[in-house]
Structure 1
Amino acid sequence: MFFLIWLVLFLVVVSFLLLLPASWHRAIYERYSGGRPVACPENQQPAVVSIDVRHAAVAVMDGRPNLRLSDCTRWPERSKCNQECLSQAIQAEPYKPGEVKAGRKQIYHLPVLLAAFAAWYVGAIWHSHYMFREQWLQAVGLTHAQVKQIVWWLSPHLLTAGVCLLFAYGVAWLLAVSHRKGVLQGVLMSVLLCGALIATTWFGIARLPHDLFLIEAGYIALASLTVGALVGGLYDRLVLPSQ
């Protein structure tokens, strides 16, 4: 019985010690989370910043959180700034959920162009004689001579490149309006966009020959994952610095 009492007291003390930092971290999160309007010290133009609440909750100095910015609408071009607007961000009221004052993030063209080229190049390899050209010829009903003639036409290549480019821009737009980035987020947006396109054109897709359907479905899946990974993963990594 004596041991049980000490065990209960020990659990109470441990729970109290764990509850204090948990409540402290929650208070920091509620105090500093959300996008905040500031005037950029560099050009005095409006900007929206976010405070790194995870870092603030972990890095505590002298009983106060160590604050820094985690995002800004002028980043990644100006991500090396000295964050002089931090004092403004601390005093500013965060935007409430549902407000659109923060706007969407910018679409950066270099990742989109690279992703579109990668998707087009994947298609060239996928339909080459190294992989599925023979099966594709049988499914479509074309001869090698006809395919060689088509290869020299410019319009099929431009059409394929245009579709890849439009799809890549679609993924970039979804990431921008949802304020997301990263490989997983890019792949998710790519899958959502691809699913929406397939759903709207399913009547025509379902009428394709079975073998052709499998070949093209494999290419579409691989190209979609490639585009999503590149656009999302390179969102703030492959950017031309603004002048």
Structure 2
Amino acid sequence: MAFQPSIAPDIFALRPDFAALSIYAENARNTASDAHGTELLRQACHDLRAAPWAEAHLAAWRDAYKAFGAKPQRTPCSAEALHKRALRDQMLPAVNAVVDLYNAISVRYALPVGGEDAALYDGVPHLMRASGNESFETMAEGAPKIETVEQGEVIWCDARGVTCRRWNWRQGLRTRITEHSTEMWFVLERLDPMPGDALLEAGERLIEGLRRLSPDVRTTQLYLAAASQSIL
């Protein structure tokens, strides 16, 4: 697997129950949002509580955030942020076909799902706790801004800097998937009590959606957990 993420041991020390499903997609295609993606979002928002572990899984993420010093009331995990918006608006905004797909899966499974343009990475993704010297490219009041992350914060990063802050709270601008992206990386992140089988099912739904958009897409899955790492 050419694009293989790594997870530092101190992440598993923080949450031994953490597991991630990495999906790398080559020869992929993205488009503007379409009716199919909008319907996926609508269904996911309608079935917010379909997953029996949903509330407990979001609570587990709140506990994980508190464990490294974050305040989940102010900066919730990505799945909870989408969940709250879906509750409030009964729908999520369309972005583009691929982002709509993984947002719908995130809401349906109460699962943090990240999508990145792998071609824009400098090296491969690493999940680690920050030293406090790493930089993060974002926007503030409509202008580009460089932030320095907090020591001990859980971050995804590459050789150039942070690609996602506070585990899965906020994605950086540099590696976002756009309609021009053809090489993509996705990470689906679970804690107990979400079943491992449900994580794999969510990954299969993501791959099915990518194949609808890109019949010739090639995907590789990698399962990462404290006691194991395996290509699926």
**TM-score if structure 1 supplies the norm length?**
0.24
**Which has the greater radius of gyration?**
1
> Which of the pair has the greater relative contact order for Cα pairs under 8 Å at 6+ separation?
2
**TM-score if structure 2 supplies the norm length?**
0.25
Structure showing the higher strand proportion among its residues: 2
